[in-house]
Structure 1
Amino acid sequence: MNAWRLTLRLLRQDWRSGELYLLSAALVLTVAAITAVGFFTDRVEATLERQGSELIAADLALESSQPLDVRFSAEAQARGLRSARTLEFRSVVMGERPQLVLMKAVDPDYPLRGQLRISEAPDAPDRPVDSGPPVGEVWVESRLLRLLDLRIGDSLSVGEARLRLGAILTDEPDQGRSFFNIAPRVLMNRADLDATGLIGPASRVTHRLLIAGAATAIDAYRDWAGTRLAANVTLTDALEARPEFGSAVERASRFLHLATLVTLLVAGAAIALASQRLVERQTDAVAVMRCLGAPRHLLMRVLIGRLVLFGLAASLIGCLLGWLGQAGLLAALADWLGTDLPPASPAPVLVGLATGLITLLGFAVPPLIQLARVPPLRAIRRDLGTPRVSAALALGAAGLALALLILWQAQDLELGLKLLGGVLATLLALIGVVRLLVHLAGRLAGRARGVWRLGLAALTRRPGAAVLQIAGFGIGILALLLLAVVRVDLLESWRETLPEGAPNYFLINIQPHEVEPLRAFLNDSGIATARLHPMISGRLTRIGERAVEPSDYDDPRAERLASREFNLSYGTEPQSDNRIVAGRWWTEGAEAAPQFSVESGIAETLGIALGDTLTFWVSGHEVSGPVTSLREVRWDSFNVNFFVVASPALLRDEAATFITSFHLPAEREAVVAELARRFPSVTTLDVEAILGQVRQVIDRGVLAVEYVFLFTLGAGLLVMYAGIQASLEQRRAEHGILRTLGAGRRTLLTSLAVEFTAAGLLAGLLASVFAEATGWLLAEQIFELEFGFNPGLWAVGVLGSGLAIGLAGTLATYPLLIHPPLRALRGGSN
């Protein structure tokens, strides 16, 4: 009880005296950044995933070629989830002539996510609707009207029923889940299905059960359903439905977590510097307590207890500010992000409290340990100074805290390990280079004269403090420069992964005899860059000598891939958005040799290695060839791409259709109408809506990252302020002695400007080097983006930091020159 009473009393005294203000500011900012990011990313990422749900018209979709067991819908209803059924099948409708169509029968609640869009005439603007067609009515794609010469209001024979053409179907949320729809789409009410007589026991029908609801309930339902799926049933969520959309969401998440970790690192440096200042100001009080008989173990309990109580209080304040910060941002951007964002979970509060305590203990405990070692004699002999903390202990504790927080906050082991290695290497290199530069500054001070010598010598009189101070400055400036690198360079590169000219139309089901006439038509229409790719369906049957069985895979995605047919292609060279990461692409001289190139992600999922022989069942026979290269594919480029590509000799003689993609401005849509007239069997798929969704993901991700880096900016400024404040106690005594020896205020003020400007230039030089290196590593190794070196960054980093720190440091220490030197020598405060 005595220890706790003493802890509370000292904590109250420290707060009243202002001893904890700097440390509390650093800790509150750290926790506020972590919790604000936690709340904000929770809600934004949930929104991004919900936006992805529009691609499958639900949060989850169960799909099968057989009617789905009723227990799946019953369980969804029992869990309070919404559900809807759809059936898709090919059929023939009758107008002036028979026409193959893709029929889709839907429940009244379809779609569960997103909206349908319809128009009343081919040239009329479309409008959104929340449900499908009423009973007795169908909605059709406009090209069906052209093919059958029909108009809205006419009747369409669908099996044994005649249904009214009620509207033109311009968009379905889940239309883009598959490019390979070879017929016009017809949407009907499921209640009309029995009257058509089209579905029998042997009919080829795709049954889908759509599920939507709260995220926690969806996760629980996914876990429940995942263990009860039959071999012919697949379970799909939004990010699995489209790889290019999943790529955009994953990259947005990585940017957000990176911004969080940078803030954490910089604020940790501020806490370390603030702790050093706190130790210097507490040394006398601890020495008096030692004189009064306080044992070391009591002091340690009091110091640690005071730190924990202070940490909890500051962390709670940080959590509150984090909540207010994210709420204010969301309120300001309600029109863009939407007012119906899902609520944040309470998890970020627990994360913020834990992060605050771990950060405080990791960065502040080592300096406090040295306080317990203050000798009683320090109370009367000020020249004894403060006991030096073990460098190994300080670095070890800080490194352990950083490792724990980085691996925890990254939420991605690979990203966390890369960042941890990069951070530790950067810190060690930074400290090593700073020590070298301080040593060189000392050599230069010996040759300088006047205030230049006095200012440079100040860096070498306290080499340990100078290293800590310049390293702190460097980390703060590095944070600000990374803000420029990530916010401007990397985010702009991310935007450029989906340029304005990205393909927005796909042509599929192109027959071999139509390739040359279609290529000529596209060339005449100014679409000369379109490349036609052959496409052959094949089922993977063996990897080496091992038969491919879906039941052999534990990963649900691998199981689905093993049970489906692949769309194979062949070519003489890889596409521009493909990068060979292992092996070699075949050359013209080796064209006759059967070879495969496999996308690296699917190779990892299915356990395919370089050199393995793949066997596919194609058109009633087997084709085999070794894997000679692995490729990384930029799925978010929206170009035609394939998981598996073969050398021409391997598949050139197989029956194939062709596919291509191209960009067409909105004002040239007449080209599409003319293409449909001249090539009626070719299916045109407009993916502009999907492109818009992916661009929206990127824009929202960029906005979120910019917001998170506001905390990084604050942390960077705070760590520079803490670096200036860390040496004030020593400077007070030094300036008192120098003024006693006759140094004038102007001389000392000029020497301060020289010292801080030199420190700023050194810190800016180091920060510029590390910012460029970090930006390059992030772009190349983590985000897979192009990175261009920025010479302007060096000018801003070096000259700007020299000017800013020189001015800020001079102004912050100027009050030391105002008071009489006797006051400083007696230990008086400002």
Structure 2
Amino acid sequence: MHGTLSRPGPAHRPSRLPLTLRLALRELRGGLSGFVVFLACIALGVAAIAGVASISRSLSDGLGREGRRILGADLSYSLINREATPAERAILDAQGRVSVVASLRAMAVAGETGAALVELKAVDGLYPAAGAFVTEPQTPLSDLLAVRDGVPGAAADPALLTRLDLKLGDRITLGGHLVAIRATIVSEPDKIAGGIGFGPRLIVSQETLRTTGLVQPGSLNRWSYRLLLPDASEGDLDAAAARVAKAVPEAGWEMRARTNADPRFAKSIERFTQFLTLVGLTALIVGGIGVANAVHAFVERKRGSIATLKSVGAPGSTVVALYLTQVMLIAGLGTAIGLTVGAGLPFVVQALFAADLPLPLNPTLAPGELMLAAAYGLLTAFAFAITPLGHAHDVPVSGLFRDAVDPSAARTRPRYRLMLGLALVALVALSVATAFDRRVAMIFIAAAGIAFGLLRLVALGVMALARRLPHPSWPAPRMALANLHRPGALTPAIVLSLGLGVTLLVTLSLIDANVRRTISATLPARAPNLFFLDIPARDAPAFHDFLARAAPAAKVERVPMMRGRIVALNGVPAGQIRPPEDAAWVLDGDRGITYADEPPDGSTITAGKWWTAEEGKAPLVSFESELARNLGLEIGSSVTVNVLGRDLTAKIANLRKVEWRNLGINFVMVFSEGTFRGAPHSDLATLTLPGGTDAPLENRVLRDVAHAFPSVTSVRVKDALDAVGDLVGKLVLAIRGASAVAVLASLFVLAGAIAAGHRARLYDAVVLKVLGATRRRLLSAYALEYGVLGLVTALFGLIAGTAAGWVIVTKVMRLDFALDLSGALVAAALSVVLAVVIGLAGTWRILGQKPAPYLRQF
């Protein structure tokens, strides 16, 4: 009889997870000790990229959602310097209801108080066709703009009242005619579509505009015909636009639809998003160094476990796969944290700054952008983790134990180098494929690669130099010198992490300083003091004489000016041309054009020759040389422009290099006199004072011109530069905010590098304390070590950042470069201080440890 067998218990269901994943999850039960910096670096970089992308998507969605309100209609047709003809207007009226808005710049004169440039908008009874126009006090617009006691009304930006010391009910003159300010503007629904303004907004009725006489043949004004198609789908809009284009193909107007209300803003958002994304990617790459440090320290901590696995037969590839899985799981957690922060950023911005945002924000989750940020984070983690993990593959068990005091110099296997290469290629491909401007993305990638290579060479150079220098007699300097090159030295990690951060700070500091210098200092010293627009051709000689009397010592220049839009190049319609990004603007909208019988000041002929008086009777044009090259134009090419509704074709006779930075009178296109013979136009004039800025004289000239020539628009260059400077200041603030993320990542990496060297430093401290070293002597040695590394890194950051700043300022921005190291030196000095402070903070706890417990372990 066989023995009785006990009934087996319930079978334990085997896990369906792969063995490597099960082991990795089991290892993670011990917590994330040692991976705090790893998590912070990945989360910070991913949050920066995801946040920028999410805000960009929210802005784009906001523009799309609010397209009808921004545009003021479903379709908008704009004309420069002329109104629609009866035939054109009839075609638009046949499609739906039409609202008309006219916009121009004018001078508002407040008696002897002064005069101010205003952005004048003349509206009809249908305004606003979309959105709400809010004033204080809130009154129907028709009542505000109506004629009372023989004086029409107006609504003004509060800034105009402040500038001219006015209050509600006061009267100003436009074109010599009285207008009463009856309300201030609180909210203007279509303000964004008007672009950047150089003066406060003033809204009047179209009847008032016609009364002022500001609209003259050739004067600079824009007429927008806003077509309202209630409940129209996108297909309906396309059909209506096609009918209009077929009926009046040569109208020369600019058409926009609510689905693309402001393509200029959309492009600007894309460009700026790319720049900030690259800054976020910089933060992620800097954080990658922290990933590498953390993984290296992780392998060191796990050498016992690795030895055990290999001793029971686990192949090296299995060991690497196990810990790579664990590392990528942690990277996935950091990525998830970053995605959560980045996805929530638009909602936070909307909640805190909704009232101050210049563009409509539609907070939304952007799955595509978040997936892209996640891909960046995981690829970066993999690329920086695979090499330190791969080092353990071929090291024998005995070598792993010996690595505590004698790190192995085994080379990484080709398979892991291949994996690293593939990850880097994927990162590059992802950056280029998703870039708005691929050339900029490639420049960034090349610069990042060069920076890494140079920093690596700097670190190796410091170690080699420290190895060859004679040993100092004092203990602290001798120990600091040895720490710079000994096995496991922190030199490469600190130089890489801190070097990239300092380089970025120095670069941004120099760009900021040069842009602000160009706007606030250099330009006003060379530029005209005043611009005068819309000078009627019949009044031009009298106006010139007036300026000569008002400012006898000033230089006055005057040229005819019209507005025209390029409609074809060499017979190819402008809409079919795909120029480089930095030349696309010349085909986008209307341009100022002129005619002349000699080259304008500030121009140099680079190809061809200027026309003679006889040759100038034919339609010829002089084109700016760099733009011509980017557009594929040369001598003999044809350029077709639409001026006052007529298409005119001229042949390129010569190419000019134009000095734009002195803000003198110059144009992309200068035509021969024969091209526009008999065409109505106005004049443009500049006044340049010999002594530079003279505010009292400028104000007096502005006031006198406003009284004597009320239809002439005067622009003070300083005011225009202040407006541009304000915009640049906001952009620089955004760039600084994004760059702060990269700098913060550098600090995390620096702290992580110190933490990664904890075990080696602890061993050193214990042995040295047993031999009689005091805490003060050890602190001195560490302070010298970190100070030398900080100093070397700061020097590299100054040199590399200056070079990068010079390239961006001169080659990308095309501005003069001045070496202003005031901000850069502060950044460099801070790097030295931070290296010492963070380094000593990381070693302070080590110096207080008792030797006995650790001697038992070692």
What TM-score bracket applies, with the shorter chain setting the length? 0.7 to 0.9
TM superposition shift of 1:251: 7.0
Specify whether residues 824 and 539 from structure 1 end up closer, same or farther in structure 2 by C-alpha distance, changes over 3 A only. closer
Q: Is the 2:293–2:752 contact (alpha carbons within 8 Å) kept by the matching residues of 1?
A: yes
Q: Which amino acid aligns with 1:451?
A: A
- SS, match of residue 21 in structure 2: helix
> Is residue 278 from structure 1 mapped to residue 307 from structure 2 by the alignment?
no
Matched AA of 1:322: G
Structure 1, 734-743 or 386-395: larger mean CA deviation: 386-395
Which of 311, 315, 336 is 2:335 aligned to? 315
SS of residue in 2 equivalent to 1:288: helix
Structure 2 match to 1:86: 100
The answer for the alignment partner of 1:812 in structure 2 is: 842
Determine whether 1:472 maps to 2:486. Answer: no
When residues 264 and 457 of structure 1 are mapped into structure 2, their CA distance, relative to the original with a 3 A threshold, is same
Alpha-carbon separation, structure 2, partners of 1:115 and 1:499: 37
Question: What pairs up with 1:645-656 in 2 under 5 angstroms?
Answer: 645-646=670-671
What amino acid is the match of 1:86?
A: V
**8 A Cα contact 2:565 2:590, kept in partner:** yes
| CA shift digits 1:769-795 (9 cap, x unpaired) | 112122222222333344421333564
2:126 partner letter: D
Please state if 1:712 is matched with 2:742: yes
Runs of 5+ consecutive residues of structure 1 not aligned to the other structure: 75-82, 90-101, 130-140, 153-164, 190-204
1:355 and 2:376 are equivalent in the alignment: yes
SS in structure 2 at match of 1:645: strand
**What residue number does 1:534 align with?**
560
Counterpart of 2:41, as a letter, is: A
Is the Cα–Cα contact under 8 Å of residues 284 and 377 in structure 2 kept in the other structure?
A: no
Aligned partner (choices 105, 110, 115) of residue 129 of structure 2: 110
Q: Secondary structure at the match of 2:362?
A: coil
Q: Provide the C-alpha distance between the structure 2 equivalents of 1:567 and 1:650, rounded to a whole number of angstroms.
A: 11
Secondary structure of residue in 1 paired with 2:654: strand
1:31 matched to 2:49: no
1:426 Cα offset (Å): 2.0
- Alignment partner, residue 656 of structure 2: 629
What residue identity is the alignment partner of 2:42? L
| Counterpart Cα distance in 1 of 2:546 and 2:612 | 33
Aligned equivalent of 1:442: 467
Counterpart of 1:532 in 2: which secondary structure? strand
The within-5 A match list for 1:110-509 is 110=129, 126-127=155-156, 146=176, 187=206, 208-210=225-227, 230=246, 231-232=249-250, 234-236=254-256, 253=273, 256-323=276-343, 327-328=347-348, 331-337=351-357, 341-347=361-367, 348-378=369-399, 380-381=401-402, 382-383=404-405, 385=407, 388=410, 390=412, 396=421, 399-400=424-425, 403-404=428-429, 406-407=431-432, 410-446=435-471, 449-462=474-487, 466-482=491-507, 484-486=509-511, 490=515, 506-509=532-535
Aligned residues: 752
Q: Residues 146, 267 of structure 1: CA spacing in aligned structure 2 closer, same or farther, 3 A cutoff?
A: same
Aligned to 2:811: 781
Partner residue, 2:787: 757
Q: Please give the alpha-carbon distance, in whole angstroms, between the structure 1 residues aligned to 2:857 and 2:824.
A: 42
* Structure 1 counterpart of 2:329, one-letter code: L
**1 CA distance for matches of 2:271 and 2:584?**
22
Contact 2:559 2:684 in 1 (8 A): yes
Are the aligned partners of 1:438 and 1:460 in contact in 2 as well (CA < 8 Å)?
A: yes
Indicate if the aligned counterparts of 1:760 and 1:806 stay in contact, CA closer than 8 A.
Answer: yes
Whether 1:791 aligns to 2:839 is: no
1: CA distance, partners of 2:294 / 2:234: 43
Counterparts of 1:686 and 1:614 in 2: how far apart (Å)?
A: 31
Q: Which structure 2 residue ranges, 5 or more long, are not aligned?
A: 1-16, 104-120, 136-140, 159-170, 209-221, 689-693
1:687-702 alignment runs, 5 A limit: 697-702=727-732
Deviation at 1:700, TM superposition (A): 3.7
What SS does the aligned partner of 1:535 have?
strand
Residue in structure 2 matching 1:12, options 29, 34, 44: 29
- For the residues of structure 2 that align with 1:379 and 1:639, how far apart are their CA atoms? 72
Q: Do the aligned residues in 2 keep the contact of 1:286 with 1:372 (CA within 8 Å)?
A: no
1:433, distance to aligned residue in structure 2 (A): 2.9
Structure 2 CA distance for partners of 1:412 and 1:177, relative to 1, 3 Å: closer
- TM-score, structure 2 normalization: 0.70
Residues 607-629 of structure 1 show CA distances to partners (whole Å, capped at 9, x for unaligned) of: 42367466889999986452323
Q: Relative to 1, partners in 2 of residues 1:327 and 1:277: Cα closer, same or farther, differing over 3 Å? A: farther
Q: Deviation per CA, 1:336-382, whole angstroms, max 9, x where unpaired?
A: 22796322442443233222212211222222222344433346544
Letter in 2 for 1:627: N
Q: Which residue of 2 aligns with 1:157?
A: none
Aligned-partner SS, 2:655: strand
Deviation at 1:29, TM superposition (A): 1.3
Q: 2:327 is paired with a residue of what secondary structure?
A: helix
Q: Secondary structure at the match of 1:107?
A: coil
Task: Indicate conservation of the 8 Å contact 2:513/2:820, yes or no.
Answer: no
Asked if the contact 1:366/1:393 (under 8 Å) is kept, the reply is no
Higher relative contact order (CA 8 A, sep 6+): 2
Structure 2 CA distance for aligned equivalents of residues 803 and 299 of structure 1: 41
Q: Which residue of 2 aligns with 1:724?
A: 754
Partners of 1:747 and 1:69 in 2: CA distance: 89
Partner of 2:545: 520
Secondary structure of 2:818's aligned partner: coil
Query: Sequence identity of aligned pairs in percent?
Result: 22
Aligned to 1:98: none
Change (3 A) 1:493 1:358: farther
Distance 1:13 1:466 in 2: 30
CA deviation profile, 1:712-746 (whole Å, cap 9, x unmatched): 23212112212322322333334444445554444
Give 2:356's aligned amino acid.
W
Bigger mean CA deviation after superposition, 252-261 or 761-770? 252-261
The answer as to whether partners of 2:347 and 2:363 remain within 8 angstroms in 1 is no
Q: For the Cα contact (< 8 Å) 1:249–1:697, is it kept in 2?
A: no
8 Å Cα contact 1:617/1:623 also seen in 2: no
Match of 1:133 in 2: none
Matches within 5 A, 1:595-614: 596-599=621-624, 603=628, 607-609=632-634, 612=637
Letter of the 1:361 partner, please give it.
Answer: F
- Tell me, yes or no, if the aligned pair for 1:48 and 1:697 is still in contact at 8 Å: no
Q: 1:295 to 1:537 in 2, by over 3 A?
A: closer
Aligned counterpart for 1:569 among listed residues 583, 591, 595:
595
